[in-house]
Amino acid sequence: MDATKRLRVGVVGLVMGVEHVQAYQNLPDRFEVVAVCDLNEQKAREVAGKFQIPNFHTNLSEMCQRPDLDIIDLCTPPALHYNQIMEVLAAGIHVICEKPLVGSLKEIDELQQAQQQFNRLIMPIFQYRFGNGVQKLKFLQSRGLTGQTYLSTVETSWRRKAEYYAVPWRGRWKTELGGTMVSHAIHTLDMLTYILGPVKEIFARTTTRVNPIEVDDCVSLSLCMADGSVASLSATTGSTVQISRHRFCFSNLTAESNLRPYTNSGDPWTFTGDTEELTARIEQALTEFVPLPESLTGQFYRCYEAFINGQPLPVTLDDARAALEMLTAIYYSSYTNQSVSLPIAQDHPFYGGWVSHFSPPQEAGATR
Ligand SMILES: NC(=O)c1ccc[n+]([C@@H]2O[C@H](COP(=O)([O-])OP(=O)(O)OC[C@H]3O[C@@H](n4cnc5c(N)ncnc54)[C@H](O)[C@@H]3O)[C@@H](O)[C@H]2O)c1
């Protein structure tokens, strides 16, 4: 591709998709949203008008026939992602897709093959990792300033009431693919492995107490990381006071996030050295930290070169697979009340997904 060109994007699913449109339009030298798509024609028309996008569609197949698209960005309900990604790849167009990418390791492995077969890229969305707080921690790690990892604590304490679950696909295994763990805390799984690397073992307790839904809304995890450190992670939709929190205890420093529920990966984070000398070195190093755009804009900013020049994507299928593997272990642990070791092999009972094991009997078996 021509390194001076703007990438032409079509955005599908215009609720979360509107945030994607705004993020692309924050980067006008790199991206141009040439079309939007939603089943709801009025919504598609209104979003196109409001954001001065020249074309709108009401079905994905029609959009895939456009000759002018480099990327289609899918912001549709989770259970649609697998088939829609396959359709876009087969049309010879790169894919960006919201979380959860799909509902099983088997599907991720099939997407990996399809990516090669059609010679097109898939970039999953994990925008939380591009907050400047967590980026500063990554920077300190790269300078060798964190030391050995001891213990990490992660909380996703949000509030969701009946109106949130009025959207028909939410709250059901078959269509949401999971509960608060899949829909909300998946970002924290990504941030944890982004900083600490792979997980070795997980014990999970999941339950449903907050809303009358099928899927989990209270989760508590105990994790052993491959580096030998331990971590705990909790998630709920029943917290009147909404916070997100990351706290990493390393031998050289403690890193603590801010508590804003949806932007806790951004500034300010505190980095407290274990000695005054370490604190001074941390402060000195951070004077050299160069902030880049954050959140969705940050992810799109960083993926431009990858789509243009074939450089590594800022979030890869392997990253989505790591999160999916943790979710597989979490749901298997909850199902069996046993600790689960990773990696998950192809002959594991949940390699093909967990949904059919949790769905009510009349719906069991269908994940797409
Ligand atoms: N990254 C994040 O922080 C974040 C936040 C919220 C939602 N999401 C994800 O974004 C996705 C969408 O979530 P949402 O909350 O916007 O859902 P939503 O149900 O509120 O909106 C989905 C939109 O997609 C449209 N749609 C449904 N099927 C379609 C199809 N086949 N073709 C075209 N349009 C279709 C619907 O009409 C609707 O306008 C989900 O995967 C969700 O997990 C991510």
Helix (H) or strand (E) holding 96: strand 94-97
- Considering the chain, what percentage of its residues have pLDDT values greater than 90? 95
Residue 321 counted as domain residue: no
Average pLDDT over residues 335-353: 98
**Other C-beta atoms lying within 10 Å of the C-beta of residue 308:** 17
- 330 in a domain, yes or no? no
* Helices assigned H by DSSP within 173-240: 173-176, 180-183, 186-196
Residue 252, domain member (yes or no): yes
In this structure, the answer to whether residues 121 and 264 fall within a common structural domain is: no
Instruction: Mark whether 278 and 140 lie in a shared domain.
Output: yes
Instruction: Kindly state whether residues 154 and 268 are assigned to the same domain.
Output: yes
Nearest by Cα to 189 from 334, 294, 326 = 326
Position 351 in a domain: no
Q: Which residues contact 147 (CB under 8 A, 6 or more apart)?
A: 250, 251, 252, 253
Q: Are residues 137 and 273 in the same domain?
A: yes
Number of domains in the chain: 2
> pLDDT class for 367, splitting at 50, 70, 90?
very low
Q: Is residue 345 part of a domain?
A: no
Find the 324 Cα to ligand 1 centroid distance in Å.
Answer: 19
Q: pLDDT tens digits, residue range 228-244?
A: 999 999 999 999 999 99
What is the radius of gyration, based on Cα positions, of the chain? Answer: 21
260-283 confidence digits (pLDDT tens): 999 999 999 999 999 999 999 999
Return the best residue to mutate from 21, 42, 45, 75 for the ligand 1 pocket (most ligand atoms within 8 A of CB): 75
How far does the centroid of ligand 1 lie from the alpha carbon of residue 71, in Å? 17
Instruction: Let me know whether 122 and 134 are in one domain.
Output: no
Whether ligand 1 lies within 6 angstroms of the CB of 38 is answered as yes
Whether the CB of 156 sits within 6 Å of ligand 1: no
Please tell me if the CB atom of residue 297 comes closer than 6 angstroms to any atom of ligand 1.
no
**pTM: predicted TM-score of the whole model, two decimal places:** 0.96
**Residue 278 belongs to a domain:** yes
Instruction: Kindly give the number of the ligand 1 atom that is closest to the alpha carbon of 15.
Output: 16
What atom in ligand 1 is closest to the CA of residue 170?
Answer: 19
Q: Which domain holds residue 89?
A: 7-127+296-315
Whether 341 is in a domain gets the answer: no
106 shares its domain with 145: no
pLDDT tens digits, one per residue of 134-158: 999 999 999 999 999 999 999 999 9
Q: Ligand 1 center to residue 245 CA distance, Å?
A: 26
CB atoms under 10 Å from CB of 138, counted, come to 14
Residue 362 pLDDT > 60: no
174/60 same-domain check: no
The CATH code of the domain that includes 233 is 3.30.360.10
Question: Do 108 and 158 have their domain in common?
Answer: no
Q: pLDDT tens across 22-49, in order?
A: 999 999 999 999 999 999 999 999 999 9
CB neighbour class for 158 (10 Å; exposed up to 12, middle 13-18, buried from 19) = buried
Does 134 lie in the same domain as 55?
Answer: no
Is the Cβ atom of 76 under 6 angstroms away from ligand 1? yes
Ligand 1: which residue has its CA nearest to atom 34? Answer: 38
Q: Are residues 255 and 172 in the same domain?
A: yes
Strands 122-124 and 253-256, sheet pairing: unpaired
Task: Please indicate whether residue 282, judged by its CB atom, sits closer than 6 Å to ligand 1.
Answer: no
Q: 28 in a domain, yes or no? A: yes
CA of 169 to the centre of ligand 1 (A): 10
Residues 283 and 169 in one domain: yes
Q: Quick one: which of 124, 142, 144, 125 has its CA closest to 134? A: 142
Q: According to the model, what pLDDT value does residue 2 have? A: 53
Q: What is the position in ligand 1's atom list of the atom closest to the CA of 262?
A: 3
pLDDT at 1 over 80: no
- Assign residue 109 the CATH number of its domain: 3.40.50.720
pLDDT at residue number 364: 42
What separation in Å is there between the alpha carbon of 78 and the centre of ligand 1?
8
Note whether 60 and 140 are same-domain residues: no
